[in-house]
Amino acid sequence: MSSAFEVRGGNRLKGEIVPQGAKNEALQIISAVLLTADKVTISNIPDIVDVNLLIELLGDMGVKTNRISRDTCEFQADQINLPYLESAEFKKKSGRLRGSVMIAGPLLARFGKAYIPKPGGDKIGRRRLDTHIIGFEKLGVQFVYDNDDNYFRLEAGDGGLKGAYMLLDEPSVTGTANIVMAAVMANGTTTIYNAACEPYLQQLCKMLNSMGANINGIGSNLLTIQGVSSLKGCSHAMLPDMIEIGSFIGLAAMTRSEITIKNAGVEHLGIIPEKFRQLGINLEIRGNDIYIPEQDSYEIQTFLDGSILTISDHPWPGFTPDLLSIVLVVATQAKGSVMIHQKMFESRLFFVDKLIDMGAQIVLCDPHRAVVIGLGRQHALRGITMSSPDIRAGVSLLIAALSAEGKSTIQNIEQIDRGYQYIDERLRKLGADIKRI
C-alpha cells in the first residue's frame, strides 16, 4: 500500500470537481441503521477508510450489508450478534475508529446495552466522551469503565431508557447525535438544550423522523424528542462534504486555478463561502455550483477599524474548526495578515512548522493561535518532505505542495485517505502532478 504522495507544484488547475458525501454525516447516519430491523438504504456515501471501517464493523456485528455501488449501500440490522460486542476482536476493531462511538446510542435504544472504546483517530488533542456518557446517564444508563481494556460498558437501568431534560456542557455534534439516537425510543419526552445544530445533525434528525421518530426543533439548539416504541426502514441521501468544498475553494485560490465545484449543496454551507471571501477570494454561487475564477492575487480584509482580521472556529452556525487549517494555508500567499484562533482543539495548529519550512511567514503564538503574514505571491513556497499529522492538516499541506515550487513528498497519507476519497485521482483530472509512491 502506498504511504506517500509525491507532488510537483506550480501547475494551474482547471475543470470541474464533485464533492464526496459528508464524512461527518456518514458516521452518524450509518450507525443509525442499528435502530431498526427493517432495511435502510443510504446513498452518496463517501468511499473513505473511516466510513468503510464502520460498515465493515457493522457487518461483523451481524448487520446485512449490500453495497449496490461504491456510494450506495443497503443495511438490515435484523440479526445483531450482541455477544460479539464483548469479544477481543470487536474491542480491537472499534478502538481503531473514533466513529465507532456512534453505535452506542442506537444499541442502547434498541438493546439496552453498549460498549464504547476510548477514542482513536486524529492527533488533534483530547477528544472527550463526557457529553455522550453524561447524556446517557440522564436517560438512565449506568456505566463502568474497564481500565484493563480502555472500555466503557453501558447498560440501561430497569425499565429501559427514560426521557429526561438535559443541558449539554458543550454543543458536541457527535455527543448530540448519540444522545438523540438513544432518546428516540426512550420512554417519555427528552429535551436537549445547547444541542449541536450542524447540517450533519439536522440530516440525522430528518432521517430519524422519516423512520417514525418524533423530533422537534431541528436546526435549533433546543431539541424535543417524544419517544416511540419502534422505528421502520427508510432511504436517505447524504449531503456533499462541506469540508471538501472549503478545501477545493482554498486549493483554487492557492494554485491560481479556475475550478467549478459541482452540486455543492450551497444552502447548507452556512458562513463558509463568506469566510473565504474575507481572505479576498472571488467565488460565484451559480445555482448549486460554486465557480472560483483564476485569480493572481487576493487580499485579506481587515476589521472596519483597520485592525488585523481574526478568523476563529465556533459551533454551528459559526465557522467549522475543520476548515481553519485550510484557511491558514491559503492565507500564506494572500496580501495582508490574519490571526487564526483554533478554540476547540489544542494541537491542530502544530503542522505550521512544515509551512514555515516551505517559506511561509507564520508566528505560532500558542497551541490555539497563529498569525499568518501573507507573502502576497512575492515568492512561492518551496517543496519539502513532510508528514501529515491529521486529516485536515494533511490536505492543507497537500494544497501548499500543489502551489509550491519543486517537488514535495507528503508521508503518512493514510490520514488524508481517512477523509478524502480518491483525492489524487480527482486532482490529476484537474491537471495536478501528484502520484502515490
Which amino acids are annotated catalytic?
122
Cα 375 to Cα 372: distance, rounded to the nearest angstrom:
9
Bond prior to 317 in cis (omega within 30° of 0) = yes
Cα 193 to Cα 167: distance, rounded to the nearest angstrom:
5
- Which residue's entry shows cell 472504546? 117
Number of other residues whose CB lies within 10 A of the CB of residue 190: 26
DSSP state of 378: S
Q: Is 120 exposed, middle or buried (0-12, 13-18, 19+ CB in 10 A)?
A: middle
Cell of 336: 495582508
Number of other residues whose CB lies within 10 A of the CB of residue 213: 22
Cα 77 to Cα 80: distance, rounded to the nearest angstrom:
6
First to last CA, the chain: 9
Cα 365 to Cα 353: distance, rounded to the nearest angstrom:
12
| Phi and psi at residue 83, to the nearest 5° | -60, -30
| Pairing of the two strands 433-436 and 4-8 | antiparallel
DSSP state of 189: E
Q: Is 121 exposed, middle or buried (0-12, 13-18, 19+ CB in 10 A)?
A: middle
One-letter identity of residue 148: D
